[in-house]
Amino acid sequence: MIGFGVNVASAPEGTPYPAAALDAAVPGLAPADLMPALARSFAEHFAAWRSAGGDAAQRFAATGRAWMRRAAGLGEPVTVRLPSGERSGRFAGLDSIGRLRLQTSTGVELIDAGDLYFSQLRPSVAAHPSPPTR
C-alpha cells in the first residue's frame, strides 16, 4: 500500500519541514483541476510498471530512473521514522527495487517503508513546487 498527500489550497503549519500549497505556485488551482492530471500520470506509470515484465528490479528500472531524475535532497541528511524508532543518515538514492538507501556511519541500510524527513530541505523546493502539467 502507498499513500501520499497533496496540499492544493492550503498547507499545514508547524511541520518539521517547510510545507506549501500548490495554489501558491498556480493561483486558483482547485483539486478538480489537479486530480485528473495526477490520476492520468499515475495510471501511465503504473501501466508501464505492469507491462515491464521480468523480476522486481526489471519492473522498477524505468520508474526508478524517472524518480531519481526528480529526487530532491540526494546526498543530504535525512531522518526516517520507522516503527522500531528513528534512523538518520544521508539519502543515498534508491536500490534496484525501490528501497531507500540510507548511508549511515556503519554502511548503507536499505529501508522498505517509513516516514522520510529531509533535515536540510531547501525552502525554495517546498515554497516553489513545479506546477502540474494540465
Q: What share of the chain is helix, strand, coil (3-state, %, to 5)?
A: 35, 20, 45
Q: What is the pLDDT of residues 106-133, one digit of tens each?
A: 999 999 998 888 876 544 444 444 444 4
9: in domain: no
Q: Which residues contact residue 15 at a Cβ distance below 8 angstroms, ignoring those fewer than 6 apart?
A: none
CATH of the domain at 104: 2.30.30.100
Q: Which residues contact residue 8 at a Cβ distance below 8 angstroms, ignoring those fewer than 6 apart?
A: 21, 22, 23, 29, 30, 31, 34
The count of structural domains within the chain is 1
Range of the domain at 41: 22-127
Q: What is the pLDDT of residues 14-44, one digit of tens each?
A: 876 678 888 888 888 888 888 898 899 889 8
Terminal-residue alpha carbon distance, the chain: 27
- Taking residue 81's Cβ as centre, other Cβ atoms within 10 Å add up to 13
pLDDT greater than 80 at residue 3: no
26: in domain: yes
Cell of 43: 495510471
